Structure 1
Amino acid sequence: MINDKEFLQFKDGPFRDYFEKFIEYKRGKGEKVSRSTIINLRSLNNKLCQYSTVKITAQMVEEILSPESFASSDTRGKSISLLRQFCQFMGILGIPCAAVGRNYAALPRPQFRPYIFSTEEISKLLHVADHLTESRRCNNHLRVYPIMLRILIGTGMRIGEVLQMTNDDVDILRGVIKVINGKNGVSRFIPVSDSLMDVLRIYFRNNDSMSAEEPFFVSPYTGSYYSYSAAKYMFQKICAIADIRCEDSSLPTLHSLRHTFCTRSLEQMIASGMSEYSAVPILAAYMGHVNLVDTEKYIHFTEIAHARFISDEMFMADIVPEVSYDE
């Protein structure tokens, strides 16, 4: 059930209970329903309250999504997407609803453009991380960041997941890293390569205190977990020293390592003879995605891999939707 406070400001009307079921449905699939999404759904419900029957006609869609009724194109774009999903949900329940056609504007494209590192650039990053200079205050970064970077490159984990690791999350004997209650509440066990596990064993041996509950990476300044801002600063410093920049001369983000892992992993799976039909679901589970659409957003094909994917995509029609990306 959803929180009473979240639903308190939804006006009573023919669609109110259906919006509650819709929110439960989305969360049941593992999707995150943020506060801003609740606000947008509440606005849609309030607009639908002016109609007395439990159905959504094409005329209702046109009136609700009228550009004049929105303060910004961004808000309207989100409402278009949510109303489209809600109408589809109502259709599942057998309630007549008009489709929100493609003639309505799509959601604004995100500003984030991931940088896909080449093999040579990955080597440069590791070389710089292994040869960071000493600091007057503390030299803990000389030991931590070469390991942290290798985990990000070798597993595709989210930076938040890596920063929140405890010693107990790294199973040296079985060669896996545990992620408990990650994004969207997804937990998983991540098998790691022998070479990465060798590095982690060395890190374990060189640590003075390794109780199970302690952070795997302990900040020397707080005695707790490293912060995202600290990891972001050091990663961009490493990229700058390695002279790796995006086309607009900006420095790549930490999240680009996850995109790189996803893309390179799929390339290797395809090169080994695995079909895309089998590879994408496996990759989705490894990455901790709640659905295959999330994984598809992380895939940025090279020319060769893209050509093969296009030739085989007829077998993927029910897995990856037809969405084009310019990255």
Structure 2
Amino acid sequence: MINYAFGSIFAPYFESFVGMKAAMGFTTEKIEYIFKELDEFFKDTGLHEPVLTRQMVKMWRDSRLNDSERTLYDKWSIISQFSRYMCHCGFPCYVPPMPRQKDRVFIPRILTSDEMQQFFTAADSLRMNGFVASHCLISIPVLFRTLYSTGMRIGEAVSLTNKDVDLDKGIILIRKTKNQRQRIIPVTANLEAVLKQYLSYRNTLPVTGLEDDDAHFLVNPKGTQISKGAAYNWFRKVLKKCGIPFVGGNRGPRLHDLRHTFAVHSLMKQVREGKDVYCLLPILAVFMGHKTLAGTESYVRLTREMFPELNLEIGRVSSYVFPSLEKMVREYEK
């Protein structure tokens, strides 16, 4: 929950909608921030009844001059859902249609194995200039290794609690996911050693309840959850430290690109071991928490583009499906 008290005519309905979403297993932080923006806007309208009209929606849209298309699309989605919810509550509200999304051509920045080694070396060499209780440097190296070794989303990683990480069984349970699908991720031997080393240092912090089951796993010296914003800032610092240029403008490298890098490197390893890449897709899709194979399939193209030598391996696995034209001509002539 964000630190904000709704004060407009819609306040009780904002709160009940958020509660409904939370009960359904959705993460509500983004919804709450959108409602905060709407709440502040509606406070100045002088409404006497909680009815959302077309004119009000247009006035709000005209005030959002600096929002990107993607940001506006997310806000339209929440407003549309909320309007339908209000209609079910007995208030005839205008339900705005969803704008058509443009086809987004985005190519993630896949880091090479050498770049990942440089990245981790730079992360391990980070130092604090002075003690700050809210400084999360104690968790940053292990956070980056966890993202790369498991393909987690950053939101999933910072939401982990102690009970979610079972090093005795070698698994991590991800509860708060993007698609509301809990999943179990196995922990490699290398990552297990890193996590155990982190815990040996973390548990020496003079913080009460640090080892409780419901306490956050990745914390700052105060024992509180590290934020996604702090992780992004440290990611940029590590990139600069190891000489990997940050382009910006949504062209990366982004923190989320560690997840993409994990997927491509996983496929690359399996193909080199002679596995059929298309048989691996359903496994990788479940591992990464994708709803469909469509999102996972793009990693095959990225793997082929980054490692063209693997095209021969991929083709060799499925060569029996399509016989060569030369062989077909010879058999026809006979």
Which bin holds the TM-score, normalised by the shorter protein?
Answer: 0.5 to 0.7
SS in 1 for 2:138: helix
Which one of 93, 111, 114 corresponds to residue 117 of structure 1? 111
Match of 2:91 in 1: none
Say yes or no: does 1:305 pair with 2:310: yes
Following superposition, the deviation at residue 184 of structure 1 comes to: 1.0
SS in structure 1 of the partner of residue 244 of structure 2:
coil
CA distance in 2, matches of 1:308, 1:39: 49
SS of the residue corresponding to residue 210 of structure 1 reads coil
Q: Which residue of 2 aligns with 1:148?
A: 143
Distance 1:272 1:159 in 2: 29
Stretch of structure 1 that moved more, 187-196 or 239-248: 239-248
Measure, in 1, the Cα distance between the counterparts of 2:215 and 2:78. Answer: 36
Q: In structure 2, what residue type is equivalent to 1:130?
A: D
* Inter-partner Cα distance in structure 2 for 1:217 and 1:132: 17
Specify the alignment match of 1:64 in structure 2. none
For residues 160 and 314 of structure 1, what CA distance do their matches in structure 2 show?
A: 41
Structure 2 counterpart of 1:230: 230
What amino acid is aligned across from residue 305 of structure 1 in structure 2?
Answer: L
Q: How does 1:97-246 map to 2 (within 5 A)?
A: 107-110=102-105, 112-138=106-132, 141-206=136-201, 207-208=203-204, 209-220=210-221, 223-245=223-245
CA distance in 1, matches of 2:318, 2:290: 21
Shift in Å, 1:309: 4.3
More deviation, 245-254/140-149: 245-254
Q: Residue 15 of structure 1 aligns with which residue? A: none
- Distance in 2 between residues matched to 1:267 and 1:115, nearest whole Å: 16
Residue 127 of structure 2 aligns with an amino acid whose one-letter code is T
Aligned residue type for 2:225: Y
Aligned residues with identical type, % of pairs: 32
Secondary structure of residue in 2 paired with 1:183: coil
In 1, the alpha carbon distance for the partners of 2:287 and 2:242 equals 29
8 Å contact from structure 2 (residues 239, 246) kept in 1 = no
Aligned residue for 2:254, secondary structure, equals coil
The runs of 5 or more residues in structure 1 that have no matched partner are 10-32, 42-73, 79-106, 317-327
More moved, 204-213 vs 227-236: 204-213
User: In structure 2, what is the Cα distance between the partners aligned to 1:295 and 1:121?
Assistant: 23
The answer on whether the counterparts of 2:136 and 2:226 sit within 8 Å (CA) in structure 1 is no
Shift of 1:251: 5.4
**C-alpha separation between the residues in 2 aligned to 1:226 and 1:255?**
16
Corresponding letter in the other structure for 1:152 = L
Partners of 2:165 and 2:80 lie apart in 1 by 40
Check if 1:269 corresponds to 2:270: yes
One-letter code aligned to 2:254: T
Runs of at least 5 residues in structure 2 that lack an aligned partner in the other structure: 1-16, 21-50, 53-72, 82-97, 205-209, 322-334
Question: Secondary structure at the residue paired with 1:184?
Answer: coil
- What is the rounded CA distance, in whole Å, between the counterparts of 1:192 and 1:176 in structure 2? 5
TM-score, normalising length from structure 2?
0.60
How big is the shift at 1:202?
1.8
Q: C-alpha displacement at 1:290, in angstroms?
A: 1.3
Shift of 1:307: 5.3
Verify the 8 A CA contact 2:122 2:242 in the aligned structure 1. yes
One-letter code aligned to 1:304: E
Secondary structure of 1:190's partner?
Answer: strand
Q: What's the TM-score, normalizing by structure 1? A: 0.61
Measure the CA separation in 2 of the matches of 1:266 and 1:36.
36
* Equivalent pairs, count: 230
1:279, distance to aligned residue in structure 2 (A): 0.8
Q: Deviations over 1:78-128 (max 9, x none)?
A: 3xxxxxxxxxxxxxxxxxxxxxxxxxxxx3324x53211111111111111
Paired residues for 1:277-288 under 5 Å = 277-288=278-289
